[in-house]
Amino acid sequence: MSTGGRDWIAERVPISLEGIAAVTNEPVPEHLKRWWFALGGTPAYLFVVQIVTGILLAFYYQPSPSTAFESVRYITEQVSYGWYIRGLHKWGATLMIAAVILHQIRVFFTGAYRRPRELNWMIGMALLVCTLLLGFTGYSLVFEQLSYWGATVGANITDTVPIVGPMLKDALLGGAAYNDRTLSRFFILHGAVLPVTLILLLVMHIGLVRLHGVTQLRFEAEDAAPVRHFNFFPEHFYTELIIGLTLMILLSALATLLPVGTGARANPLITPEVIKPEWFFYVAFRWLKLFSGLTAVLTQGFIVFVMFCWPFVDDWLVRRFKYPEVSVWIGVLGVFTIIGMTMWEALVAH
């Protein structure tokens, strides 16, 4: 841009570019050059893809039992590139959930939730819950047999939560059972309430990352060397750009090679022989089959509560057992249990 043009803008928008550079250009520790340490940027990038493709889908989607399924079919079969946008949204959701889980695993196993980052771990847990709820409400919108019955089972599980359960179920469905108003509730939750909540949580999450800086990690071989940094801009920005472009190619390939179809339209009168949620709820579903009813709901609630408070639980465990790696072994056990139960649910019908 010419100097005259730059001066014209600077006079009308008096923001100092040097000031912006100083705030955003934080020094990034050397270990973030290893891509698995930069995994937090991946769900953030995918979330932007979800917002753009979600807005395009919302131009056509009609949230009521009599129109929802037909509108999704119309998007998939009639709208120009509708199948592609729907494919990007569906695969984007799958990859976003996978990326959030992988990011959380890396934060856990590097102990990056420890003092002073306990609150950011808890905000991260809220982000995880928000992402999973986005997945659940989004899947329910399609009004296929499995998504309808999945939502019904989900609402019935909510009902078993002590004290607040029946009220929550009522609020979710807009009545005592699935009815004509239910889909518009799911749509408002999926397209407005949850994304806005996620954005607010992300502002706090990235804000705290910026205030604390990313955890400094040292590898045994580097113990003697001083901690090295590189600039956020342009070095780290380029890393994120390459990750973003690679993801876009991967998403396009998935949307084209494994296009998202439409299953059977929901029939509230016929219960399918096999009801399955989406893959990211397999572990919770298997748990429900192992310990039916109230026990399953209470134990799951307790596990999620412990995960929220993990930085404090870890602190107590380390002081109690005087062994800093105790969380690592609990984490290994947890990850193998989750993988094992997910595979178990994937492989058997009931």
Inter-CA distances, 346 with 177, 302, 323, 349, Å: 28, 24, 36, 8
Instruction: Examine residue 309 and tell whether it contacts ligand HEM (CB under 6 A).
Output: no
Residues that contact ligand HEM, how many (by CB under 6 A): 27
Q: Quick one: 95 or 112, whose CB is closer to ligand HEM? A: 112
CB 49 within 8 A of CB 249: no
Within 8 A by CB and 6+ apart from 275, the residues are: 146, 149, 150, 153
Instruction: Examine residue 104 and tell whether it contacts ligand HEM (CB under 6 A).
Output: yes
Q: Give the HSE-up count for residue 161: Cα atoms under 13 Å, Cβ half-sphere.
A: 14
Instruction: Examine residue 277 and tell whether it contacts ligand HEM (CB under 6 A).
Output: no
Burial 102-121 (b: 16+ CB within 10 A, else e): ebbbebbeebbbbeebbebb
Q: Quick one: 63 or 135, whose CB is closer to ligand HEM? A: 135
Instruction: Examine residue 236 and tell whether it contacts ligand HEM (CB under 6 A).
Output: no
* Span of 73-81, 147-155, 201-209, 296-304 interacting with ligand HEM by CB under 6 A: 201-209
Specify which residues 144 forms β-bridges with: 265
State the Cα–Cα distance between residues 248 and 49, nearest whole angstrom.
Answer: 9
Position among 61, 91, 121, 136 found at the interface with ligand HEM (CB under 6 A): 121
Q: Quick one: 259 or 331, whose CB is closer to ligand HEM? A: 331
Instruction: Examine residue 215 and tell whether it contacts ligand HEM (CB under 6 A).
Output: yes
The distance from CA 243 to its chain's CA centroid, rounded to whole angstroms, is 18
Q: Quick one: 290 or 332, whose CB is closer to ligand HEM? A: 332
CB 212 within 8 A of CB 116: yes
Closest distance of CB 128 from ligand HEM, Å: 4
Instruction: Examine residue 132 and tell whether it contacts ligand HEM (CB under 6 A).
Output: no
State the Cα–Cα distance between residues 132 and 284, nearest whole angstrom.
Answer: 12
Position among 117, 169, 190, 236 found at the interface with ligand HEM (CB under 6 A): 117
Closest distance of CB 198 from ligand HEM, Å: 6
Closest distance of CB 314 from ligand HEM, Å: 12
Amino acid at 206: I
Percentage helix, strand, coil, to 5, in the chain?
Answer: 70, 0, 25
Instruction: Examine residue 103 and tell whether it contacts ligand HEM (CB under 6 A).
Output: yes
Instruction: Examine residue 189 and tell whether it contacts ligand HEM (CB under 6 A).
Output: no
Nearest in space to 239 (alpha carbons), one of 88, 37, 51, 48: 37
Instruction: Examine residue 111 and tell whether it contacts ligand HEM (CB under 6 A).
Output: no
Instruction: Examine residue 209 and tell whether it contacts ligand HEM (CB under 6 A).
Output: yes
Backbone φ, ψ for residue 310 (5° rounding): -50, -45
By rule CB under 6 A, what string of x and - marks binding of each residue 146-175 to ligand HEM?
Answer: ------------------------------
Q: Quick one: 203 or 245, whose CB is closer to ligand HEM? A: 203
Q: Quick one: 38 or 93, whose CB is closer to ligand HEM? A: 38
Three-state secondary structure call for residue 115: coil
Closest distance of CB 82 from ligand HEM, Å: 26
State the Cα–Cα distance between residues 155 and 193, nearest whole angstrom.
Answer: 18
> Which residues contribute to the site for ligand HEM (CB under 6 A)?
37-41, 43-44, 100, 103-104, 107, 112-113, 117, 120-121, 124-125, 127-128, 131, 202, 205-206, 209, 214-215
